[in-house]
């Protein structure tokens, strides 16, 4: 069953990474990839390390995957970094998770500028600690003129919360007469989502073996291709990303129709 969901072990270890990248670029590369970066704690537990070590290793791995995605021509990479539900975790763990973006963005910013990568964020900024807000906003401001791949962080983000805010905005516009009820379409809703400036994801990747969305991009993932792996996020490397994209490229995206049949 897992293979039908896109899960399988790589059988391409004998092919060089550069050759595989070149082959991937010859086909249709997903314009927008969304990743649920799961398994930092499990990675640490396997090594008898504190969960903090797993989160730090996971944050470092974002560099690896960002570079690879950018190199093969991905247009946008959305990473589920901190959900609205993650506030329920122990206070010390939450505090660490809120400090990691500052460490990561400050150190990675020069390379992001060199690679022409643009940083964006979805989620509710005003719910984050001040130091986290400053780090994220600084990266957004510094990379605003960049025209390459979008590196989009989902921080303090929840899919249901996003839908609720969108519905409230539309209801308010109907109430004050700036929007007619009969004029509401799917495009109306999409334009009120936090990802309004991005296309819907072509491919969703979730690491660490879980087979659920966990309140992530519930509206936007309606016709995305899903790919699951039991590899924990800190161990998810270029080879794994290419494997997911190769699986995506082998699929027939019909969007409810009969394309290709």
pLDDT in tens, 40-90: 999 999 999 999 999 999 999 999 999 999 999 999 999 999 999 999 999
Which residue in the list 38, 61, 70, 156 is annotated as catalytic? 38
- Indicate the burial class of 203 (C-beta count within 10 angstroms; 0-12, 13-18, 19 or more): buried
Percent of the chain with pLDDT over 90: 90
Helix 17-26 vs helix 51-72: angle between axes, to the nearest 10 degrees?
50
- Indicate the burial class of 135 (C-beta count within 10 angstroms; 0-12, 13-18, 19 or more): buried
CB atoms within 10 A of CB 34: 28
- Which 8-state DSSP code applies to residue 129? -
In whole angstroms, give the CA distance from residue 11 to residue 243. Answer: 9
Does residue 4 surpass a pLDDT of 70?
Answer: no
pLDDT band at 9 (very low <50, low <70, confident <90, very high): very low
The token pair that represents 107 in the structure block: 């150190």
In whole angstroms, give the CA distance from residue 139 to residue 245. Answer: 28
Whether 95 is a known active-site residue: answer no
* pLDDT (tens digit per residue) in 115-165: 999 999 999 999 999 999 999 999 999 999 999 999 999 999 999 999 999
Coil, strand or helix at 44:
helix
* pLDDT (tens digit per residue) in 215-256: 999 999 999 999 999 999 999 999 999 999 999 999 987 766
Give Rg (Cα) of the chain: 19
Beta bridge partners of 205: 35, 227
The architecture CATH gives domain 28-158+203-249? 3-Layer(aba) Sandwich (3.40)
Whether 146 is a known active-site residue: answer no
Q: Where are the domains of the chain?
A: 28-158+203-249
Which residue in the list 86, 138, 146, 215 is annotated as catalytic? 86
Coil, strand or helix at 215:
coil
Give me the pLDDT at residue 258, please: 60
Strands (E), the chain: 32-36, 76-83, 118-122, 150-157, 203-206, 225-228
The token pair that represents 109 in the structure block: 């910013």
């Amino acid at each position: 069953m897992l293979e039908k969901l896109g899960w399988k072990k790589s059988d391409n270890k004998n092919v060089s990474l550069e050759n595989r990248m070149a082959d991937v670029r010859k086909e249709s590369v997903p314009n927008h990839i969304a990743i649920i970066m799961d398994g930092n704690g499990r990675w640490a537990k396997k090594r008898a390390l504190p969960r903090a070590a797993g989160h730090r290793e996971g944050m470092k791995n974002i560099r690896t995957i960002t570079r690879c995605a950018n190199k093969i021509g991905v247009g946008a990479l959305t990473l589920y970094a901190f959900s609205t539900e993650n506030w329920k975790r122990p206070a010390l763990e939450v505090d660490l998770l809120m400090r990691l973006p500052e460490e990561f963005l400050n150190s990675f910013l020069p390379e992001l500028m060199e690679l022409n990568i643009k940083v964006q964020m979805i989620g509710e900024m005003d719910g984050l600690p001040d130091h986290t807000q400053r780090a994220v906003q600084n990266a957004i401001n510094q990379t605003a003129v960049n025209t390459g791949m979008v590196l989009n962080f989902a921080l303090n983000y929840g899919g249901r919360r996003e839908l609720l805010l969108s519905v409230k905005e539309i209801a308010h516009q109907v109430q004050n007469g700036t929007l007619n009820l009969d004029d509401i379409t799917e495009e109306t809703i999409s334009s009120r989502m936090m990802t309004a400036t991005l296309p819907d994801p072509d491919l969703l990747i979730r690491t660490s073996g879980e087979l659920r969305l966990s309140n992530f991009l519930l509206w936007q993932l309606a016709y995305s291709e899903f790919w699951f792996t039991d590899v924990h996020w800190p161990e998810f490397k270029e080879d794994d990303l290419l494997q997911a994209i190769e699986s995506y490229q082998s699929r027939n995206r019909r969007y409810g129709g009969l394309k290709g049949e």
